[in-house]
Amino acid sequence: MTHEVAAEDEIAPGAVLQDRYRVDRRFAVGGMSVLYRGVDLQTDRDIAVKVLPSRLRTKRLAARFEREARMAIGVRHPNWVVTHAAGSLESGTPFLVMELLEGETVYDRLRYDGPFGLEPAIDILCAVLDGVHAAHQHSIIHRDLKPSNVFLTNGGAVKLIDFGLSKDLGSLEDRTMVTGPGEALGTPSYMSPEQVLAEDVDPRTDMWGAGVLFYEMITGQRAFPRCEGGVQDTFTMVLEQEPVLATERNPALPFGVNRLLARALQKEKEDRFATIAELREALVALRPG
């Protein structure tokens, strides 16, 4: 069964993709995607369909979206959002079919409830690291860890979402891809020094991402906040300055938090934790009691 496009960037309600996934309604619009809610007609499970808007359908962004699909489908882990299928609309616009998540992102929780307690933050970051480790086993670097990319489901699961900036170290295409002029490599406040400098990334890049994520969860503030002077000033801060100690932001935190963050946020990759397992072990050691 084919589908019809009701309007630009929209799938008509009731359309069926790949003779299996019925699209019911649009429920969210982001800067880089449109999300629809639907049903898997074979399993009767709710699904989400992610579409790249046609206004963004350059060759480079379409290729990046398709790479995201390959990587998301290729890694199966409880802490990754499940991606069932991928394809293209008749217009050529690519789409992903994913599990439908009910809940909120870490960004949402911080915005409405403020900083997390230390123990819940440790639990969330451990889950994130487990998902990141699974990706690394497939030579995939997430390289965009931030509060809006960590989803907390109503059932208590922690899910990594949005792999649009992930890099497959095992792919010749990814290893040789050059970012086009003006294309962002991530959100400036969350980019590692090697990303800012357009240098090679590896698993230790995600350690930096985990560090800035943890800092924000337990303090309610970014380790490297946006600067009034613009992106370049933020980049200078990432490259040259140290964040305010977490214990100054939140005096209730143990001093050991500062030591962990100092190691995770070393400017040189070689000075960070050697492995995700080592970072996770240091994190668990911070548990109260």
- 206 part of the active site: no
For residues 206 and 131, the answer to whether their CB atoms sit within 8 Å is no
pLDDT value for 29: 82
Which fold would CATH assign to domain 103-284?
Answer: Transferase(Phosphotransferase); domain 1 (1.10.510)
pLDDT value for 56: 66
β strands within the chain, DSSP E: 16-17, 21-29, 34-40, 45-51, 83-88, 94-99, 103-105, 140-141, 150-153, 158-160, 167-168
Active-site annotation holder among 144, 162, 168, 206: 144
Per-block mean pLDDT, blocks of 10 residues, the chain (289 long): 45 91 89 88 95 73 74 82 87 86 96 96 97 87 90 95 67 43 63 91 93 98 88 92 97 96 96 94 91
* Tokens (6 digits) for 188: 């400036």
* Tokens (6 digits) for 99: 């599990």
Give the torsion through C-alpha atoms of 283, 112, 243, 200, to 10 deg: 70
Nearest Cα neighbor of 40 from 99, 128, 94, 92 is 99
CATH fourth-level superfamily of 16-99 = Phosphorylase Kinase; domain 1 (3.30.200.20)
Going by their DSSP bridges, the two strands 83-88 and 94-99 should be labelled as antiparallel
At residue 190, what are phi and psi to the nearest 5 degrees?
-110, 0
DSSP label at 192? Answer: -
Q: Map out the domains of the chain as residue ranges.
A: 16-99, 103-284
